[in-house]
């Protein structure tokens, strides 16, 4: 990976921002891309790096957005097209492989591995107690990013869960802030009686904070309690996870997914953005994946539906 692409990927990981790392793993001549070329694609469609010319880049960007929506990595094969038995677009009979017949390629076929990099779910724990420390260990072992704060602090905006295990210290403010921030899972480690009193004082909506925290597994030790809490977090996460749609994920909605247009000449999808190849005709703007398609359309718009 080039130092620039590596640095950008590291920055996005640190910022907990989802992205796709596209790596060319195979290239047939003639093609400008070479094995090892790579780029980072963000949920807003921006691309940094190099994975081929404008036609290949457009295809990589579009499929990267689709993989982000699905939350799955894949191998993308971009071919010059010409297969009359297969419609133009994305298709594959092989699991884990997506084939794009890109008719505007100058030649050559490239295989690009699209690795979807999503931030680990964030679990914020408050309290310097045995249960709090046990929850950190259990959560990290399960692949969560767990942050431990001995004292109250700002609730992370993208926290999946907030667990207050401070045993009576500074609980009310943290619980109120977590609920106000819309954290999906908020829990208080306390007995049923004490927990009810704390929630009444905090004035949070009924049922919004889970107390006692964790599933009723008969847990007694800090480690067992931590396991029961994490099990409840997993269940809450699964229940709240929305069904994926073809081009929309929570990250895309939040950041603002780019508009997608269809090249009228070759049928490929194109990201609509400043600087995109376009042509005005009869009060309508048409977008193109490459200069060749734009030139063909401009020469005879009626032929292409203009």
- The H or E element spanning position 13 is helix 3-14
Task: Name the more confident of 142 and 90.
Answer: 142
- Answer yes or no: are the C-beta atoms of 39 and 51 closer than 8 Å: yes
Condensed to tens digits (0 to 9), the pLDDT of residues 121-137 reads 999 999 999 999 999 99
Give the pLDDT band (50/70/90) at residue 87: very low
Contact 78, 104 (CB under 8 A): no
Task: Return the H-helix or E-strand segment holding 235.
Answer: helix 222-240
Q: How far apart are CA 103 and CA 301, in angstroms?
A: 18
Q: Which of 14-28, 108-122, 145-159, 172-186 has the lowest mean pLDDT?
A: 145-159
Cα 90 to the chain's mean position, in Å?
A: 21
Give the pLDDT band (50/70/90) at residue 105: low
For the domain made up of 122-240, give the CATH fold. Rossmann fold (3.40.50)
Q: Where does the pLDDT of residue 22 fall: very low under 50, low under 70, confident under 90, or very high at 90 and above?
A: very high
Lowest mean pLDDT among 151-160, 226-235, 247-256: 247-256
Given a cut of 50, whether residue 303 has pLDDT beyond it is yes
Residue 93 predicted with pLDDT over 80: no
Q: Domain ranges in the chain?
A: 3-117, 122-240, 258-304
- 167, 125 contact by CB (below 8 A): no
Q: What residues form DSSP beta bridges with 128?
A: none
Instruction: Compute the distance between CA of residue 149 and CA of residue 151 in angstroms, rounded to an integer.
Output: 5
Helix H or strand E segment including 239: helix 222-240
What is the reported pLDDT for 90? Answer: 62
> Does residue 36 register a pLDDT over 70?
yes
Interval 169-209: pLDDT, tens = 889 999 999 999 999 999 999 999 999 999 999 998 878 99
For residue 258, pLDDT beyond 70:
no
Look up the pTM and report it: 0.70
Nearest residue to 211 via CA among 166, 181, 241: 166
58 within 8 A of 41, measured Cβ to Cβ: no
């Amino acid at each position: 990976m080039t130092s620039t692409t590596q640095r950008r990927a590291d920055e996005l990981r640190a910022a907990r921002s989802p992205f796709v790392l596209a790596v060319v793993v195979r290239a047939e001549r003639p093609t400008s891309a070479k094995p090892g070329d790579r780029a980072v694609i963000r949920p807003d469609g921006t691309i940094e790096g190099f994975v081929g010319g404008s036609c290949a880049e457009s295809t990589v960007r579009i499929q990267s957005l689709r993989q982000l929506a699905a939350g799955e990595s894949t191998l993308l094969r971009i071919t010059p097209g010409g297969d009359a038995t297969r419609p133009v677009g994305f298709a594959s009979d092989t699991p884990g492989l997506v084939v794009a017949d890109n008719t505007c390629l100058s030649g050559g076929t490239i295989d690009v591995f699209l690795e979807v990099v999503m931030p680990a779910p964030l679990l914020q724990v408050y309290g310097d107690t045995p249960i709090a420390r046990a929850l950190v260990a259990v959560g990290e072992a399960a692949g969560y990013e767990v942050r431990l704060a001995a004292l109250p602090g700002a609730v992370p905006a993208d926290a999946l869960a907030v667990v207050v295990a401070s045993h009576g210290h500074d609980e009310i403010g943290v619980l109120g802030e977590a609920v106000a921030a819309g954290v999906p899972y908020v829990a208080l480690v306390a007995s049923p009686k004490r927990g009810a009193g704390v929630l009444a004082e905090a004035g949070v909506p009924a049922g919004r904070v889970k107390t006692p925290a964790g599933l009723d597994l008969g847990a007694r030790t800090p480690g067992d309690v931590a396991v029961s809490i994490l099990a409840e977090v997993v269940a809450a996460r699964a229940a709240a996870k929305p069904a994926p749609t073809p081009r929309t994920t929570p990250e895309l909605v939040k950041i603002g997914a780019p508009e997608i247009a269809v090249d009228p000449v070759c049928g490929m999808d194109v990201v609509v953005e400043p600087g995109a190849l376009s042509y005005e005709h009869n009060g309508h703007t048409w977008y193109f994946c490459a200069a060749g398609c734009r030139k063909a359309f401009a020469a005879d718009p009626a032929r292409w539906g203009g």
